[in-house]
Amino acid sequence: MIDQEVLNLFAGNAAAMAEGDAPHLAAQKLPDGVERIKDLPYTGNQDGAVDTEAKTAHLLDIYKPADSPDDALLPVIVDFHGGGLYYGNKENNECRDMLLTARGFAVVNANYRLVPTVSFPSQLKDAMAVLEWVAAHGAEYGLDTSRVCVTGDSAGGALALYLCAANGSAQLAAALGVKPCAIDVRALAVTSGMFRLSGGVHATALSYYGRGYFQTPDDHVMMNPYLDLDKLVVDAGEGLPPVYMVTSVEDFIADNSYELARILHARHRDHAMKVWARGGERPLGHVFNITQAGDQEASEAREAIADIADFCKAYCA
């Protein structure tokens, strides 16, 4: 049972984040030349819930170049939005994902259930269900299921990391309560990853959030060993795909990317990281290539988006 103090924290933070996102979402210009297929259900399991969040939690969008031939199979990027695991939706990432589409990809942009309605292990099951849907139905929508990459930003980056780690290792998947799907993820690209779900320099804040992330004794038994990112990487083994991390000196959780990069280097896992210096045009803060994607003059954000596409292309050849 989550106490009211923590519920109030989630609600207050979510309201503040929505207020902060509203101006750039209202001002953004979505790119032309992209076909949007909106609100496809990726699972029939809504856990019996009837509220608005539950009705939308298991929906995804597909974005494709409007001029792609009907019989073309496009490489795929599957995206999980950020928001601390308790806020956000696919529409927050729509513009950025459409810009990735313009670089030759089909993008699958997915919602998932949010804390405190569910805890993190249930969110991981949602993420795996998205991959399973792509494996089962992707070809119907022109998706090349042999060339799939995954991306996420902030807490969506943590979800993407755990998803890719579990999908590449049957033993780790069993420990995390999921089953790997038939998709072999080629690459993982994360912006401003909130990889740490406990401890670290933000340990005090995470001690509160963790009461929503891990709500039951079973959650703790399952997840506690793998809150150690080194153990997660080791147990994922060679099944962990190449990882690309984007952060900046103005990103308040840049330390998370530095830490994961150190672990990946020590464990000889394929990875790259770009740390942007202080912005020349405007601040390059947390998830800047998401929040500035709709600004046509934000050239640094556009370059960061191009870098993500290029990394994924390198592993989808």
Q: Residue 107: what residue type?
A: V
Question: 95: pLDDT confidence band, cut at 50, 70 and 90?
Answer: very high
* pTM of the model as a whole: 0.96
Tokens of 186: 């080629």
HSE, side-chain direction, 13 A CA sphere, residue 149? 30
Percent pLDDT > 70 in the chain is 97
Q: What is the pLDDT of residues 26-74, one digit of tens each?
A: 999 999 999 999 999 999 754 454 556 667 999 999 999 999 988 899 9
Q: Which residue has the higher pLDDT, 296 or 317?
A: 296
Number of domains observed in the structure of the chain: 1
Residue 140, burial from CB neighbour count under 10 angstroms (0-12, 13-18, 19+)? exposed
Q: 172: which residues sit within 8 A by CB, 6+ positions away?
A: 165, 166, 226, 232, 235, 236, 237, 239
Question: 135: pLDDT confidence band, cut at 50, 70 and 90?
Answer: very high
Q: How many residues does the chain have?
A: 317
Asked if residue 82 lies in contact with residue 75, where contact means CB atoms within 8 angstroms, the answer is no
In which domain, by residue range, is 44 found? Answer: 4-315
- 3-class secondary structure per residue, the chain: CCCHHHHHHHHHHHHHHHHHHHHHHHHCCCCCCEEEEEEEECCCCCCCCCCHHHHHHCEEEEEEECCCCCCCCEEEEEEECCCCCCCCCHHHHHHHHHHHHCCCCEEEEECCCCCCCCCHHHHHHHHHHHHHHHHHHHHHHCEEEEEEEEEEECHHHHHHHHHHHHHCCHHHHHHCCCCCCCCCEEEEEEECCCCCCCCHHHHHHHHHHHHHHCCCHHHHHHHHHHHCHHHHHHHHHHHCCCEEEEEECCCCCHHHHHHHHHHHHHCCCCEEEEEECCCCCCCCCCCHHHHCCCCCCCHHHHHHHHHHHHHHHHHCC
Tokens of 128: 């795996």
Q: What is the pLDDT of residues 231-273, one digit of tens each?
A: 999 999 999 999 999 999 999 999 999 999 999 999 999 999 9
For 221: left if phi > 0, alpha if psi spans -120 to 50, otherwise beta; the answer is alpha
> Cα–Cα distances in Å, from 146 out to 113, 136, 212, 316?
27, 12, 36, 9
Q: What is the pLDDT of residues 177-205, one digit of tens each?
A: 999 999 999 999 999 999 999 999 999 99
Q: What is the pLDDT of residue 281?
A: 85
Q: Determine how β-strand 185-191 pairs with β-strand 243-248.
A: parallel
Whether the bond into 217 is cis, omega within 30 of 0: no
CATH of the domain at 178: 3.40.50.1820
> Cα–Cα distances in Å, from 81 out to 69, 91, 101, 151, 201?
29, 9, 16, 9, 23
